[in-house]
Amino acid sequence: MIGVCIKYFHENYGGMLQAYATVTMLKKRGLNYELIQYEKHYSIWGKVKQLPRLFNGILLNDKKEAFLKKLGKKKHPEFAQNDAIRLAAFSRFKEEKFTNLSPVFVGFEALRKGAKRYSAVITGSDQLWSPAGLPTNYYNLMFVPQDIRKISIASSFGVKQIPWYQISRTKDFLNRIEFISMRENRGSEIVKELTGKDVPTILDPVFLFDKKGWEELIPIKKEIKGPYIFAYFLGNNPLHREAVTQAAQELGCKIVTLRHLDQYIESDEKFGDITPYDVDPARFLNLLREATYICTDSFHGSVFSIIHHKPFVTFNRYDEGSKHSKNSRIDTLCNNLGLQNRRFISSNKLYDQLNQNIDYEEVDNKFSILKKETDTYLDKAFDGIK
């Protein structure tokens, strides 16, 4: 049996659909699996050892976003009520799609002992190897015994550089993993710099299923008539919303959007014509694939646009100079598929960019090469596992 160490429970549309794609891939390969359930439990000394995490800039930024969302709920009760509706939708999807669960391992020692039940343990995608999470020794598979196969599927550091004080420990966990693949080109470069290993950059798990494959997993359900722009923004940038509003007027489209996703955003209050909250990952995918145009600052929003051959534009969620920027995943996606012209440039008219033709035949040709490399890697990584 395979242990699966991924973030299937996080209320993020792309992340949950990525997790769903991962476990579905295992099923289609005839591999038995269970999602590892881990509950941290630290001794007093263990808590003391976690204190340095509080000075990690990436973790602090994540904590800041969480705090702003909590503050937004307190200041805006209506937002709190609507967010509860969204969370309930996520919960229903999670309970339906993720049923193969391990026992709950409470504490790191229990987790280490529990790992012995597996013939292999996999992790991957999202920013599970972010420097913010290194001290937990969870997603980097440090809890897995040396004699059990460890596999990463399209892993991501989420940063361009590993902090100097984490280089040694990062090198240690990378050297323990027998099969490493990264989602970003920069991630593969980091592995090479730290270990000397050449590791492949492969496709995110959601790419393991094409348009028809996703229709089989999540049937099409149309609900909105007429042309519309699906605006899926995680970041807090009023200028992006203004650009979409102007483009919608010029295109004669409605705007369908999901408000206040990662935090309360003031400019979301008057943004969009249709703004549902009762949206689980299945409905999210249907809203996206039925859209006439898509505007997003999300990696997975861009990925699903490509899978469904949609006219789309990707906005930068982070400033390029930001220490917390996670734009490298978008860079890799666009560069590897020849879609650099889909990045939003404020000096250009969004109306023109959305109507600019995308040569999806050429994109599919590049994609087929990456898909073949991805399948080859997975075949090798799972070879011999029953």
pLDDT in tens, the chain (386 residues): 999 999 988 889 999 999 999 999 999 999 999 999 999 876 665 655 555 655 566 666 666 777 777 887 788 889 889 999 999 999 999 999 999 999 999 999 999 999 999 999 999 877 899 888 888 899 999 999 999 999 999 999 988 899 999 999 999 999 999 999 999 999 999 999 999 999 999 999 999 999 999 999 999 999 999 999 999 999 989 999 999 999 999 999 999 999 999 888 999 999 999 999 999 999 999 999 999 999 999 999 999 999 999 999 999 886 655 555 556 778 889 999 999 999 998 778 899 999 999 999 999 999 999 999 999 999 999 999 87
Helix pair 13-28, 77-97: axis angle to 10 deg: 0
What is the pLDDT, as a whole number, of residue 86?
A: 95
Q: Does 213 map to a domain?
A: no
| Domain extent at residue 196 | 2-208+369-382
Q: Does 193 map to a domain?
A: yes
Return the closest-CA partner of residue 256 out of 219, 220, 284: 284
Same domain, 130 and 223: no
Number of domains in the chain: 2
Same domain, 256 and 285: yes
Same domain, 245 and 187: no
Q: Does 83 map to a domain?
A: yes
Same domain, 15 and 163: yes
Q: Does 214 map to a domain?
A: no
**Beta 101-106 vs 120-124: how paired, if at all?**
unpaired
Q: What are phi and psi of 352, to 5 degrees?
A: -70, -40
Same domain, 42 and 130: yes
Q: Does 134 map to a domain?
A: yes
Same domain, 160 and 229: no
Same domain, 126 and 234: no
What is the pLDDT, as a whole number, of residue 326?
A: 57
Question: What is the Cα Rg of the chain in Å?
Answer: 21
Same domain, 360 and 373: no
What is the pLDDT, as a whole number, of residue 56?
A: 60
Q: Does 173 map to a domain?
A: yes
- Global pTM reads 0.91
Give the CATH number for residue 199: 3.40.50
Same domain, 72 and 196: yes
Is the CB of residue 335 less than 8 Å from the CB of residue 365? no
Q: How far is CA 218 from CA 100, 239, 278, in A?
A: 19, 33, 17
Report d(CA 287, CA 313) in Å as an integer: 16
Give the CATH number for residue 345: 3.40.50.2000
Report d(CA 123, CA 342) in Å as an integer: 30
Q: Does 127 map to a domain?
A: yes
| Residues contacting residue 375 through CB under 8 Å, at least 6 positions apart | none
Same domain, 122 and 185: yes
User: Which two structure tokens, joined as six digits, stand for 277?
Assistant: 């909250």
Same domain, 17 and 86: yes
Helix pair 281-289, 77-97: axis angle to 10 deg: 100
Other Cβ atoms less than 10 A from the Cβ of 288: the count is 22
Same domain, 184 and 225: no
What is the pLDDT, as a whole number, of residue 67?
A: 76
Q: Does 279 map to a domain?
A: yes
Other Cβ atoms less than 10 A from the Cβ of 350: the count is 25
